[in-house]
Amino acid sequence: MKREQALVEARGVSRSFATGRSRWSRRMVPAVRDISLQIAAGETLGVVGESGSGKSTLGRLLLRLLPPTSGQVFFDGQDLAELPRLELQRLRREMQVVFQDPVGSLDPRFRVEDLIGEGLDIHGLAEGKERSRTIARLLEEVGLSSDHRRRFPHEFSGGQRQRIGIARALAVSPRFIVLDEPVSALDVSVQAQVLNLLADLQRERGLAYFFVAHDLRVVAHFSDRIAVLYGGRVVELADRDALIARPGHPYTRSLLSAVAEIGVVDQGRVQLAGEPPSPLRPPSGCAFHPRCPYAADRCRQEQPSLSDRDPGHAIACHFPLDGSPVAPGGTKGQDKPEKKL
């Protein structure tokens, strides 16, 4: 079954993990719960959420580095679960991942050329002279020099190592890359270099990105659309501008108000009670209800489903905010906008 449009699609995907040491104390803990979303070719879907919200697990599910407990993941219209092993392996070329920690994800015993060439070898894409030409071209494409090929990862700075990680992902000419906190470990000035590089590569190669980060400023800069995760579910999904200007879920609103933005007066933060939910003891009904200032009885009992408030702006809340614009706080010296959630 071929589906048009979406390059990557998750349909009702859930994933649980087993905890406990013995068979008798083992429990299944849900990390991702019933998530459906699509990513088009050339698009960046950004994902924000606090630790434990399921964002990294979702990335691994999209790549089928993890099989879902239930639900389906499609790549280019093909159900990854139904693909024979060999075909899945072939498809892996098309989907790559770049991790946060460029130290931990690059084998220190490999030279740069072998780190980058590994994918070429596995998929039999280039050999001999062709292989070294490809590696030299990739190094230059990510802003390194082809003279770097014989060096080891420890000889590079954090930003350069992340460039090697990106070159490694690009080597097999993927169409989709999961970027899991790709700039979190980098200094601000270097972070900008890497974000610009990723944007250039996307334009030149038409890549689709699934971009995971805990820093909303980075996600907002980089994404076309943003999904907000809470307690393993998508609670809001919208175009970047709409999400930031007119958030509909109270959690999104509080997340936005928590961002320390330069030159923007703290406009009275939306205070949340308590802490993010423990996946071991998920709350009943809406997972956000224990911290939500608007929680009503219905929220404690019934899980809200994700539905469109405006076209393309989906919210999972029984009482979504009406979407009146949120002022960006005004600049210093101006009157503070009315405190309003």
Partner 1 sequence: MKGAPILQVTDLVVDFHTPHGVARAVDGASFDLSSGATLGLVGESGSGKSVSALSILGLLSPSARVVSGTIQFAGRDLLQLSAREFRRVRGKEISMVFQEPMTSLNPLFTVGRQIAEVVRHHERVSRREAWGRAVEMLRIVEIPDPENRASAYPHELSGGMRQRVMIAMALVCRPKLLIADEPTTALDATIEAEILDLLGEMQKKFSMSVLLITHDLGVVSRRASEVAVLYSGRIIERARTEDLFAAPAHPYTRMLLDSLPRLYERRDRLVAIPGAVPEPGKRPEGCRFRDRCPRVTAACAPKEPELENLAGSRFVACQHRLMPGELL
Q: Given the rule CB under 8 A, which residues bind partner 1? A: 50-51, 157, 159-160, 187-193, 195-196, 199, 214-218, 220-222, 241, 244, 254-264, 266, 269, 271-272, 275-276, 328-329, 332
Looking at beta carbons only, is 210 or 211 nearer to partner 1?
211
CB of 250 vs partner 1, minimal distance in Å: 12
Cα three-residue angle 122-113-211, rounded to 5 degrees: 70
Q: How far is the CB of 274 from partner 1 (least distance, A)?
A: 9
Pick between residue 44 and residue 160 the one whose CB is nearest to partner 1.
160
By beta-carbon proximity to partner 1, the closer residue of 9 and 236 is 236
Pairing state between β 225-230 and 233-239 = antiparallel
To the nearest whole angstrom, how small is the minimum distance from the Cβ of residue 265 to partner 1?
A: 10
Q: Judged by CB, which is closer to partner 1: 258, or 296? A: 258
Give the amino acid at 45: L
Q: Compute the least distance from the CB of residue 215 to partner 1, in Å.
A: 8
CA within 13 Å, CB half, 100: 10
- Shortest distance, position 82 Cβ to partner 1, whole Å: 37
Shortest distance, position 327 Cβ to partner 1, whole Å: 9
Give residues with Cβ within 8 angstroms of 211, minimum separation 6: 44, 45, 46, 47, 179, 182, 219, 222, 223
For 295-333, b where at least 16 C-beta lie within 10 A, e where not — what string?
beeebeeeebebeebeeebbbbbbbbbebeebeebeeee
**Interstrand relation of 225-230 and 44-48 (parallel, antiparallel or unpaired):** parallel
| 182: its two tokens | 């790709």
Question: Smaller CB distance to partner 1: residue 5 or 51?
Answer: 51
Nearer to partner 1, 121 or 241 (CB): 241
Q: How many CB atoms lie within 10 A of CB 61?
A: 25
